A and B are shown apart, each in its own frame.
Chain A
Amino acid sequence: QSVLTQPPSVSGAPGQRVTISCTGSSSNIGAGYDVHWYQQLPGTAPKLLIYGNSNRPSGVPDRFSGSKSDTSASLAITGLQAEDEADYYCQSYDSSLSGYVFGTGTKVTVL
């Protein structure tokens, strides 16, 4: 059972903006540890999408953005495209578990 909670699913029409929340606690996000986001397209390995709360690796479109506040973080996708249909996971460090933790995952559907 993950300590980072995400909504199971979000959906939007092409061109719309969607956000995915990642809710943690005082032993992970609230303790100041960075949050990172990964995109997993169907049948493929995860891919780094956002690191250090809000930084995009080279090649990731600026339609993807991340933020962090208190005990939670968010991933926003603007100008939603069909190719964005995927599962998205947040990740951080948890001091109580002394290891990395992933969020429960969110499936994004483009209507």
Chain B
Amino acid sequence: QVQLVESGGGVVQPGRSLRLSCGASGFTFSNYGMHWVRQAPGKGLEWVAVIWSDGSNKYYVDSVKGRFTISRDSSKNTLYLQMNSLRAEDTAVYYCARARGQWLVGHLDYWGQGTLVTVSS
């Protein structure tokens, strides 16, 4: 069965960096695009970034462009999110999710359990 397990969350000071990981199992990781989605405490879902199956394309929400980098290591079946220059408004549970369908009409069919990132001094 498809399993996605995020790790790397924690408390970090504003301006510092953090790297999240998402370990994938139960499917051929290299065949699928992957997303990061976040949810601030008590708020709705916000799409953060996507990386295509071969890593050739990456897209980001405007609020994280230039600060966050999505990447993947298919030899390790792992997705990453490098988060730099963190701000208080980045505080959220971060979910990784598997992409399905073509980019413009696609959806997210499996989600991890999430990892909490708290940006606070």
- Residues of A in contact with B (beta carbons under 8 Å apart): 2, 33-34, 36, 38, 40, 44-48, 51-52, 57, 87, 89, 91, 93, 97-105
- Asked whether B55 is an interface residue with its Cβ less than 8 Å from the other chain, the reply is no
CB pair A48–B108 under 8 Å, yes or no, is yes
Stretch at the interface among B24-32, B57-65, B78-86: B57-65
Q: Which residue of B lies closest to A37 (CB)?
A: B107
Interface SS of chain B: helix, strand, loop or mixed? strand
Q: Which residue of B lies closest to A87 (CB)?
A: B44
Known contacts A45-B113, A100-B50; A105 and B107 CB within 8 A of each other: no
Q: Which residue of B lies closest to A98 (CB)?
A: B59
CB pair A45–B112 under 8 Å, yes or no, is yes
One digit per residue, 1 when the CB lies within 8 angstroms of any chain A CB and 0 when it does not, for chain B 92-114 equals 00010100110111111111111
CB pair B109–A45 under 8 Å, yes or no, is no
Which residues from B are CB-within-8-Å of A34? Answer: 101, 105-107
**Distance between Cα atoms of A9 and B97 in the complex (Å):** 26
- Asked whether B88 is an interface residue with its Cβ less than 8 Å from the other chain, the reply is no
Smallest CB-CB A-B distances: 10 pairs: A36-B107, A100-B47, A34-B105, A105-B44, A102-B45, A45-B111, A51-B107, A48-B109, A93-B104, A89-B45
CB pair A105–B105 under 8 Å, yes or no, is no
